[in-house]
Amino acid sequence: MKLTWKYLVVGFLLGAVVGAVGSQWCAPPFHWYWKGEREHIREKMLQRFNSRLNLTSDQQQKVAAILQEKQGKIDALRAQMRPKFEEIRNTTQVEIRQLLTPEQQGKFEAMIAEHKARMKKIGDRWGGKEMEGELR
């Protein structure tokens, strides 16, 4: 009987560790792109550069400025590309709907709604912005 309890405890602990590591590994990184998180990530990058490269204070300021400037360019590119991604996503959905029976179309709409709700829930967790996703 004692051996069974040991297996249960080991199994539970192993499951907890695998679950914790798996959830972090599989968690979407999209939240990095949001403003608050981007600033946090940029600060972490600066700290890592400084600790590994021993940057002077002048270098730290210049690297910070470079990172901030490039983030602005990335944001502008993302804003420019988003409508193109949305267009592709929308035409993809239209083409798929045309192949489906009415019953399948209803299920497909439910899948899209579920995906939007899931992305909204994740977005709420990471700062209130809705995340992008393929099924929208």
pLDDT tens readout for residues 6-31: 666 677 777 776 766 666 555 545 44
pLDDT tens readout for residues 24-83: 555 545 444 455 567 778 888 889 999 999 999 999 999 999 988 888 888 889 889 989
pLDDT above 80 for 99: yes
Q: What is the pLDDT of residue 75?
A: 84
Residue with the larger pLDDT of the pair 92 and 18: 92
Q: What is the pLDDT of residue 23?
A: 60
Distance in angstroms (rounded) separating the CA atoms of residues 93 and 82: 16
CB 129 within 8 A of CB 123: yes
Length of the chain: 136
Q: Alpha carbon of 86 to those of 59, 75, 114, 123: distances in Å?
A: 40, 16, 18, 18
Distance in angstroms (rounded) separating the CA atoms of residues 131 and 4: 45
Q: Please, which pLDDT band fits residue 121 given cuts at 50, 70 and 90? A: confident
Q: What is the pLDDT of residue 133?
A: 47
Q: Alpha carbon of 16 to those of 9, 10, 12, 58, 122: distances in Å?
A: 11, 10, 6, 46, 22
CB 45 within 8 A of CB 67: yes
Number of Cβ within 10 Å of residue 75's Cβ equals: 13
Q: Please, which pLDDT band fits residue 122 given cuts at 50, 70 and 90? A: confident
